[in-house]
Amino acid sequence: MRRLRLLAVALVVLFITLAAAPTAAFAESAAARIGGPALAGLSLARLGQKPVPCRNPPAHGQSLPAAAPRDPTIARLGLDRAWDLSTGAKVTVAVVDSGVDGTQPKLRPALAPGSDFVTTQTPPGWQRLPGGLGDCGDNGGTHGTAVAGLIAARPDDDDRIIGVAPRARIAPIRIVDGVQNASPEMIAAAIRKGADLGQVLNLSLALPVDRPAVRAAIRYALDHDVVVVAAAGNESSNGDSKWYPAAYPGVLAVAALKQDGTPLTESNRGSWVGIAAPGDRLTALAAGGGYTTVSGTSFATALVSGVAALVRSRFPDMSAAEVVHRLTATAVPLGAARDDRVGAGIIDPFAALSAQSAAVPSDPGRSGGPAGASGRVRVLPRQDQTAGIVDRWGTLLGAAGVLAVAAALAYLGRLALLAARRRRKRPGDQEPVEEPAVDPPDVRLA
């Protein structure tokens, strides 16, 4: 009996001790398990996978006026025809950026599981957590949501604004404290995670220095057959410097164009630029709902990533290097075959999906590419620069050939008949019976 009493007293003491312990102790313990004391304040929320709050929450966008026309980018890129061939289904685009607003109606159905990268005070200086939701754009911007919308916004609630690949999925990789505040090692880790999650990797960021960690992460993505699309940057560089990761071999570097089709003044130039896309006053999704207007190579990059998703969806067995080659080989040149401001030229989604393309050069991205292109895949001349649709022109020319042969045969038959008449019509011979003339068929090419 005495032992039972002692056991009961011990249990009561233990219960009182646990009840009196501060709740913060459990929070600190959880924080230590997932990255140390720097995460203690938000550890419980993060363990529950709730969105990590941003330092500068983005401002909400504007409503789209009822009388606003359809987004002109759809017609400018010929997307209606491209969507007859591919909508990006079964392709995931990983977006390493400021995060994506998961409440945006046009993006909610498109979102795949993502990750958060948070700065810590313990090695390695960052922590990866499940997440990606919530846009932490710099100075209250809405960068990641705009990029994701240009790639894969759904047409369901309003078909005036549609992403380039409206059935692709978005895996948001959010750098919570901003790319500008992230270490190269954190950026590299985010790139690797994006390569694990997507078949296309959108990097709307630019670094002025070649960082070994970032370079190795890009090599990791390329080795895992991921199409890596990166922004050329907006520093108005004249080609005397390179910006990374866009300038790494194997990466498709994207320049931006104004609405009149000329290069955007801010868009960096260089032999490493691979392709160009519209990047001036684009209508994009805003965090928290509504729309905003954006400009720059970040958003031109999103359009190219969307086209890459269309191609990967239509040709699932095509390698990443072949996808990049197809995009550049079917681009519309601006004047010369290539240019340091726009690379191979303007992205052409329909041509990329329909044109026949030569084989990709061996080992692109490792051999350094053609002279003066710093790692770019070789750009081949298009068979028809006007239409950009080799298949359609091949069919038309084939039909014209058949009709031309038929007309030639009929004409030769008539010549033979006339020659026979002349042979029969000699002096003293009986006048032959006049036969009806044989005219060639009425051949017209529409």
Burial of 296 (0-12, 13-18, 19+ CB in 10 A): buried
Paired residues of 173 in beta bridges: 96, 115
Count of CB atoms situated within 10 Å of the CB of 338: 23
Give the sign of the dihedral formed by CA 294, CA 193, CA 312, CA 250: positive
143 is catalytic: yes
Please work out, in degrees rounded to the nearest 5, the angle formed at the alpha carbon of residue 182 by the alpha carbons of 180 and 185: 135
In DSSP notation, 300-357 reads HHHHHHHHHHHHHHH-TTS-HHHHHHHHHHTSB-SSSS-BTTTBT-B--HHHHHHS--
- Distance between CA atoms of 93 and 244, rounded to whole angstroms? 20
Asked if residues 185 and 215 have their Cβ atoms less than 8 Å apart, the reply is: no
Residues 6+ apart with CB under 8 A from 12: none
Query: What pLDDT does residue 138 have?
Result: 73
Residue in the structure block whose two tokens are 């001790």: 17
- Distance between CA atoms of 292 and 288, rounded to whole angstroms? 11
- Distance between CA atoms of 179 and 136, rounded to whole angstroms? 10
The residue length of the chain stands at 446
Count of CB atoms situated within 10 Å of the CB of 16: 10
Give the sign of the dihedral formed by CA 227, CA 233, CA 239, CA 242: negative
Residues 6+ apart with CB under 8 A from 385: 332, 333
- Distance between CA atoms of 436 and 164, rounded to whole angstroms? 62
Give the sign of the dihedral formed by CA 191, CA 197, CA 198, CA 202: negative
Residue in the structure block whose two tokens are 């028809």: 384
Classified as helix, coil or strand, 440 is coil
Query: Residue 208: is the preceding peptide bond cis (ω within 30°)?
Result: no
Residues 6+ apart with CB under 8 A from 216: 188
Residues 6+ apart with CB under 8 A from 408: none
Query: What pLDDT does residue 359 have?
Result: 59
Indicate which residue of 98, 143, 348, 374 is catalytic: 143
Indicate which residue of 43, 71, 97, 354 is catalytic: 97
Query: What pLDDT does residue 156 have?
Result: 84
- Distance between CA atoms of 97 and 133, rounded to whole angstroms? 11
Indicate which residue of 298, 354, 357, 374 is catalytic: 298
Query: In Å, how far are 41, 42, 197, 400 from 26, measured between CA atoms?
Result: 11, 12, 33, 80
Give the mean pLDDT per block of 10 residues along the chain (446 residues).
Answer: 49 40 31 27 38 72 90 97 98 97 94 96 94 83 94 92 98 93 96 98 97 98 98 94 97 97 96 98 93 96 98 98 97 87 97 79 42 34 36 34 39 46 42 35 29
- According to DSSP, residue 39 is labeled G
* Among 11, 29, 163, CA closest to 87: 163
298 is catalytic: yes
